[in-house]
C-alpha cells in the first residue's frame, strides 16, 4: 500500500513516446519531502540519466519541496516523464497556495544552502511564478545527457553556444 502522501501514480498504455507516467506527492511534512525526492529518483532511473543527474534531480526536488513545507505548510509536487521522438526528460511542477514570494528575483539570487538559485542552475529549464497571497509554482525540466548534447551541438552550429532559451 503506498504512503498516504503518494496521491497518484498512473501509467498510460498510449504511445511509448507519450508522457505516460505521472506521480503526484502531497507535501506537508519532511517525510513527504523525502518521498517526493525518492519518487523523482525512481522516475529519473527509468530514463537515460547518469547517476550524477539522478542525484541532481533528487536534490532539486527536495529543495522546492522543502520550501513548500517550510513557507506554505502544504502543497504538492507533480512529476512526469517526457518522451518525445528526439528527446526525453523529467518534468517537475511544485505548487502551493501559500504566502507567495514578494520578490522572485531576490529569491533566486545566491543565498544560503542549495536555494532556488542553485536549483535553477542544476536544471535545464526553470520557471517560477509567484504572487503574494496567491502561492508559488515552480516548473523545472531536466533532459537526458544525449538530448542536451544534441541541443548544445545545434546551439554551436547556430552561434549560440552556452545559451539556454528557457529559464
The tens digit of pLDDT for each residue in 34-81 reads 999 999 999 999 998 999 999 999 999 999 999 999 999 999 999 999
Show me where the domains of the chain are located.
6-157
Please give the chain's pLDDT, 167 residues, in tens. Answer: 345 465 555 554 444 444 568 999 999 999 999 999 999 999 999 998 999 999 999 999 999 999 999 999 999 999 999 988 888 999 999 999 999 988 888 888 766 556 899 899 999 999 999 999 999 999 999 999 765 555 555 554 455 444 443 33
Residue 9 is placed in which grid cell? 501514480
In three-state secondary structure terms, 65 is helix
User: In angstroms, rounded to a whole number, what is the distance separating the alpha carbons of residues 162 and 81?
Assistant: 25
CATH code matching the domain that covers 6-157, chosen among 3.40.190.10, 3.40.50.150, 3.30.565.10, 3.20.20.370:
3.30.565.10
pTM: 0.78
Q: Please tell me what DSSP assigns to residue 3.
A: -
With 0-12 / 13-18 / 19 or more C-beta atoms within 10 angstroms meaning exposed / middle / buried, residue 42 is: middle
Amino acid at each position: 500500500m503506498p504512503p498516504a502522501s503518494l496521491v497518484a501514480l498512473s501509467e498510460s498504455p498510449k504511445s511509448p513516446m507519450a508522457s505516460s507516467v505521472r506521480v503526484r506527492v502531497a507535501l506537508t511534512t519532511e517525510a513527504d519531502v523525502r518521498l517526493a525526492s525518492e519518487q523523482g529518483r525512481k522516475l529519473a532511473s527509468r530514463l537515460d540519466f547518469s547517476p550524477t543527474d539522478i542525484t541532481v534531480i533528487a536534490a532539486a526536488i527536495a529543495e522546492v519541496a522543502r520550501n513548500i513545507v517550510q513557507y506554505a505548510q502544504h502543497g504538492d509536487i507533480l512529476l512526469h516523464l517526457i518522451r518525445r521522438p528526439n528527446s526525453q526528460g523529467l518534468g517537475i511542477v511544485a505548487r502551493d497556495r501559500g504566502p507567495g514570494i514578494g520578490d522572485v528575483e531576490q529569491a533566486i539570487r545566491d543565498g544560503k544552502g542549495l536555494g532556488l538559485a542553485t536549483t535553477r542552475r542544476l536544471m535545464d529549464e526553470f520557471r517560477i511564478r509567484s504572487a503574494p497571497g496567491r502561492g508559488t509554482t515552480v516548473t523545472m525540466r531536466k533532459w537526458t545527457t544525449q538530448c542536451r548534447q544534441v541541443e548544445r551541438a545545434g546551439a554551436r552550429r547556430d552561434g549560440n553556444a552556452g545559451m539556454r532559451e528557457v529559464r
